[in-house]
Structure 1
Amino acid sequence: MSLTKKRKTLDDFFINNRPSKQTRTPTATKPLQVHEDIPGLRVLTDFVTVEEEQALLRFFELQEWRTDLARRVIHYGGTYCLMPPRTATLEQRIQIDKTILTAPPIPNQLDFLISRMIGQNLYTNATAPEYCIVNEYKGRQGISAHVENFRFKSPVCGLTLDQGDWMRFHELRYPNDGSVRSGKASQAERTNKVKDVWMPPRSLLVMEGEAREKWQHEIVRSKRGRSAPCWRRISLTFRTDKCK
C-alpha cells in the first residue's frame, strides 16, 4: 500500500455517497415486505449496506447525546424539553418543564437515507422528513406502547442499526387514540389483537394508515432473552409535520 494514499474520513464516505438536499435523486431498492395482519405496516430489509451502517454508527458516536432519559437520545428538527430527575424539587421540575430546547436540523450525513426513502415513494421532495429521533436501546431497555404524535403525517419510518429487535403491535378499538403526547397511552382501549414483528438489522419499518393510527407499538424488553447484556440497537425515526 502506498504511504502517500490519502485515508478516507467518515465525512468523505458520506459526501461521496449522498446527494444534496436540493438534488435528491430517488434510489431503487428492494420491494417492501407487507404485513397483512397489520394494514399499512411494511418492512424493507437491507435498506442500508453493512458499510453504510458502520459509517452511521461511527458518526453517531461523535455526536452529543441526550442523557436525561433512561436511554440515550438525539433529536434532529423541532423542539424538545428535558426530563426532570426524580430527585428534583417541585420548583426545579417547573423550571425544567419551562425550558424548551431547539434541536439542530437533520444533518447532511443522513440525507442519503431520505433520498432512498423518496426512491421508495414513501415521501416526495416536498414532503421529505424534517424530524428524526435517534434512540439507543441497550441491555433490557425498551419503550412502552404508544402511537406516534398525531401532529406528524403518515408514514412514520424507523431504521434499525446494529442489532435487530422485535416490535410488538397492539390493535386499538378506535383510531387516533393512545398518542405518546396524550398522556393516556396506557388507557387506550384495545381489541386484544397483538402481533410481534421482527426488525432485522439495517431494515426500514414503515407505518402508515391503520398501522400508524390504529395500532400502538412498543419495544418489549423480555424478548431479548439471554443476549440482553451484550445487546444494542440504534433506531432512527423519521417524521414529517402535517403542516408541511
Structure 2
Amino acid sequence: MTQPILPPGASIIGDFLPEGAGGRLLDWVDSSEWRSDLKRRVQHYGWHYDYRERRVTPAMRLGPLPDWLVPVSEAVSALPEFPDRIDQVIVNEYLPGQGISAHIDCEPCFGPAVASLSLGGPVQMLFRCRQTGEQRGHVLEPLSLLILSGQARYDWTHEIPARKSDLVDGLRRPRTRRVSLTFRTVSLQA
C-alpha cells in the first residue's frame, strides 16, 4: 500500500523557484534541443550520461552549464545536502502515459545527493525500499524540489509509473505534461 510520506533522507521544498521563474525556465528548456533516444525526450547539460552502460567518463564532458541554468543550479548547490557544486543537469519531459522505471541514480557516477525540480503538471512518484519492499508515494507538485540523500539516495528506488492519471487521496488526477530538471554532481571514480 502506498503511504503519503517520503522515505528517510528525502525531502521536498515547495515553491523552490520564485513566481514566474518556472515559466521562464520552461521557455529556455523548450527553446533548447531535445534528444529522443529514450522513450521520453531529454536534454543533457554539463555531462552526458550513458543510460545503457550506466556510466560517465571524462570524454562525456559537455562543458559548463548554460547561463540560464546557473542561477537554479547554484541555488541547489547551496543546499546542505550538496557538499560539491552541481555540474550536471538532465532535463526529462514526461507526457501523459510516460514514466521512468524504478531505479537508483548511478552510485559511483554521482555524488551523495540528487535533486529534481518539477515544472508543468504534478505527478506521483513511487519509492520502494530495496531491503524490505516497503512502498511509499508522493505527489511532486509544480515548482517543488525533491532532494534524495542518505537512505533515500542509496536504499530506495524511485519511479514514475507510465500511466495517464494518478490516484491521489481517492481521486483520479489526469496527468499533463511534466518537465523535470535533475541536478547532480559527477564523480569520475567510476
Instruction: Place the TM-score, normalised by the shorter chain, in its bin.
Output: 0.7 to 0.9
Q: Quote the residue 1:219 is aligned against.
A: 160
Where does 1:201-220 land on structure 2 (aligned, <5 Å)? 201-220=142-161
Query: CA offset at residue 71 of structure 1?
Result: 0.8
Where does 1:149-160 land on structure 2 (aligned, <5 Å)? 149-150=106-107, 151-160=109-118
Cα 1:166/1:117, change in 2 over 3 Å: same
Query: CA offset at residue 201 of structure 1?
Result: 0.4
Query: CA offset at residue 123 of structure 1?
Result: 2.8
Q: Quote the residue 1:146 is aligned against.
A: 103
The answer to whether the aligner puts 1:172 opposite 2:117 as a matched pair is no
Structure 1 letter corresponding to 2:40:
R
Q: TM-score, normalised by structure 1?
A: 0.65
Q: TM-score, normalised by structure 2?
A: 0.82
Where does 1:49-60 land on structure 2 (aligned, <5 Å)? 49-60=18-29
CA distance, structure 2, for counterparts of residue 104 and residue 40 of structure 1: 30
The answer to whether the aligner puts 1:197 opposite 2:138 as a matched pair is yes
CA distance, structure 1, for counterparts of residue 10 and residue 174 of structure 2: 27
Alpha carbons 1:80, 1:102 under 8 Å: kept: no
Q: Quote the residue 1:18 is aligned against.
A: none
CA distance, structure 2, for counterparts of residue 62 and residue 56 of structure 1: 10
Q: Tell me the alpha carbon deviations over residues 104-159 of structure 1, each in whole angstroms, 9 at most, x when there is no partner.
A: 432111111122224433335xx111111000000110010010001211110000
Q: 2:67 aligns with which of 76, 91, 108?
A: 108
Structure 2 letter corresponding to 1:208:
S
Q: 2:14 aligns with which of 33, 45, 62?
A: 45
Larger radius of gyration between Structure 1 and Structure 2: 1
Q: Quote the residue 1:235 is aligned against.
A: 180
Structure 2 letter corresponding to 1:227:
P
CA distance, structure 2, for counterparts of residue 65 and residue 115 of structure 1: 23
Q: 1:132 aligns with which of 58, 78, 89?
A: 89
Q: Quote the residue 1:31 is aligned against.
A: none
Cα 1:37/1:109, change in 2 over 3 Å: closer
CA distance, structure 1, for counterparts of residue 24 and residue 6 of structure 2: 34
Cα 1:118/1:129, change in 2 over 3 Å: closer
CA distance, structure 1, for counterparts of residue 128 and residue 22 of structure 2: 30
CA distance, structure 1, for counterparts of residue 49 and residue 80 of structure 2: 29
Aligned length: 173
Q: Comparing both chains, which one has the higher relative contact order based on Cα–Cα distances under 8 Å and sequence gaps of 6 or more?
A: 2
Alpha carbons 1:80, 1:103 under 8 Å: kept: no
The answer to whether the aligner puts 1:75 opposite 2:44 as a matched pair is yes
CA distance, structure 2, for counterparts of residue 192 and residue 214 of structure 1: 11
Q: Give ranges in structure 1 of 5+ residues lacking alignment.
A: 1-34, 84-99, 174-190
Superposition CA RMSD, Å:
2.3
CA distance, structure 2, for counterparts of residue 197 and residue 154 of structure 1: 21
Q: 2:76 aligns with which of 117, 129, 132?
A: 117
The answer to whether the aligner puts 1:66 opposite 2:28 as a matched pair is no
CA distance, structure 1, for counterparts of residue 79 and residue 51 of structure 2: 35
Q: Give ranges in structure 2 of 5+ residues lacking alignment.
A: 53-58, 167-171
